[in-house]
Amino acid sequence: MSLFKKIINRINITTIEKRGDHILDQVESIDNQPAVAIATEKSGFYEGFNRIVAMVPKLFIAALVVWVGLSPSAAGELLLSMQNWTTANFAGWYIYITAFYTLVCLVLGIWSRTAHIKLGKADELPEFSMFTWLSMMFGAGIGIGMLTYSTAEPIFHFANNPDTIKGLTNSLNEDNVRNAYKWALLHYGLTPWACYGVVGMSLGYFSYNRGLPLTIRSALQPLFGRAMSGSAGHVVDIVAILATIVGLSVTIGYGVSQLASGFFNISGAQWLVDDSGKPTLVAQLVGLILIISASCLSAMSGLKKGIKWLSNINMGLSVFVIAFFVIFGATFFALQTFFYAIWDYLVALPAMSTTVWSGEGPEPATALQSWQGAWSIFYWAWWIAFAPFVGLFLARVSRGRTIREYVIGAMITPSLICLVWFAFVGATAIDLELSGIAQGTIVNADISAQLFKTINLILSPELAVALSVIIVVLLMTFLVTSADSGILIINTLASGGNQGLKQAKHVIIWGVIFALLIGALLSAGGMDALRSVMIIGALPFSVVMGLMAISLVKTLLSDKAE
């Protein structure tokens, strides 16, 4: 170790040790590298938390809420321009870095040298059953997205995708079905789950195998050593918390919009939607208050009670809804689509994952760039922003699983579950459009209403209302599961990896923060404002994730060589 590095490390250690108002989570040094020691308060309002990590994100969000609240129109316009700048300048980065995450996870899960390494002690058994484990991962990771996008994603790409832009297939035509699913699976297949997977695998290994705190900074300890105990580590965890907040805000925003459409489909109450069929701001805010209140109650009950219970309900209701579409939907068409989609997706994945359209040159270059910015870049930012929350959650529930089990359970199985939703729900919607029954009703509906438009066409009015009630209940449990899991994860990050520290007052504070942020951004520009904040906010954490992947590979190879 260089003299300079020794001096810096000594300064960090001395600074921490002199803070008499803090306690240290001391961890034994490993492989001659100093471990991570995170200072936390021993008394007062922030007892058990690192004051800096807990306070700075709140100040950032408070400033954003005040700014948006004082001038919503100007804020919405500026956020949109910042989003366009980010997309134009960092599209290539988002494309290539997500491909890198996917490659790392698959190689670690396939390669025999790393695949059999367990996240935990060699004799440690998994804490949760396989069904509960998969339910919790799917519910927290992407459950809400399935209810919103199981219809919307295939139907949107059926109308427009890069192949139709290039003139290779025809919009809303039968020859475009396979391409629609190929592009839909790009956004809901291996790549998003790899974003979650690389974070969860890193945190699980460094926490359970190396005894480090269950927090984002621990995954960078092999690269930066003792620096992760001080200000640099604080910055890493703060970036992770901010990414979690913006990612979860977009998810809840889409969820409450669909919740309003669901209640409208059940009740017909006109105050829920405007003349164009979009959910009103009042309806969204009412749904937001309902979900955040329930989430706080669930979060205070902890992981093994509220979240586990809700996750099992989620999976059971999901199976019921899919069974409904198997019976009443376009089942034969869906089965054909399912198997074709797997083949088409796997063949096209390398090209789809690494192609960047710059917009330079003659048409359709500009149209392709616009499509990629609106879809792929938006999605990669979404999954990256969601990754600290879902990844840490996956780490918490995956102790005792091998890396191969983890890759199968956290990447491959959820990808197949997403395809099942796309095949049976989305293919039914496409079949209704192809047959002329829908006559554009589904394609032209607001994204929050497309699922309900589909069930209205395949079921009697009475059954459509009954299924809408079940979907609304499922949507609410997914929303509550995601929100309460997010609150628990934020508290874990802010407390230096303490998994048992809930404290009702901090749960409620974060619930209020989420409600204020989402409400302010919905008022400023609806979902466009939420999307803008997320695409901008995800960028710093994408760098952290890249470093986490490098650190994990380096450490696994080093440990295996011993």
**Cα 374 from Cα 195, distance rounded (Å):** 19
pLDDT at 310 over 80: no
pLDDT score of 30? 40
Contact assessment for residue 117 and residue 402, using Cβ atoms and an 8 Å cutoff: yes
> Taking the model in full, what pTM does it have?
0.86
pLDDT at 454 over 60: yes
pLDDT score of 457? 95
**Cα 135 from Cα 309, distance rounded (Å):** 10
* Structural domain boundaries in the chain: 45-561
What torsion, rounded to 10 degrees, do the Cα atoms 207, 211, 212, 214 define?
30
pLDDT score of 1? 41
Q: Provide mean pLDDT across the span 161-180.
A: 93
pLDDT score of 9? 43
pLDDT per position as a tens digit, 41-91: 888 888 889 999 999 999 998 888 888 888 888 887 888 888 888 888 899
**Residue 308, amino acid:** K
**Residue 45, amino acid:** F
pLDDT score of 299? 65
pLDDT score of 23? 34
pLDDT per position as a tens digit, 214-238: 899 999 999 998 889 889 999 999 9
* Mean pLDDT taken over the chain: 84
| DSSP states of 380-429 | HHHHHHHHHHHHHHHHHH-TT-BHHHHHIIIIIHHHHHHHHHIIIIIHHH
Q: Provide mean pLDDT across the span 478-486.
A: 77
Cα distances (angstroms) measured from residue 415 to each of 6, 244, 252, 308, 557: 46, 22, 21, 21, 28
Q: Which residue in this structure is represented by tokens 């095949």?
A: 423
Sign of the four-CA dihedral 268, 269, 275, 277: negative
Contact assessment for residue 138 and residue 315, using Cβ atoms and an 8 Å cutoff: yes
pLDDT per position as a tens digit, 6-54: 333 433 433 333 333 333 333 334 444 447 788 888 888 888 899 999 9
The 3-state DSSP class for residue 380 equals helix
pLDDT per position as a tens digit, 409-419: 889 988 988 89
Question: What are the beta bridge partners of residue 130?
Answer: none
pLDDT above 70 as % of the chain: 87
Question: What are the beta bridge partners of residue 39?
Answer: 24
**Cα 471 from Cα 448, distance rounded (Å):** 12
10 Å Cβ neighbour count for 276? Answer: 7
1.20.1740.10, 3.20.110.20, 3.30.2290.10, 3.90.800.10: CATH of 45-561:
1.20.1740.10
pLDDT score of 6? 38
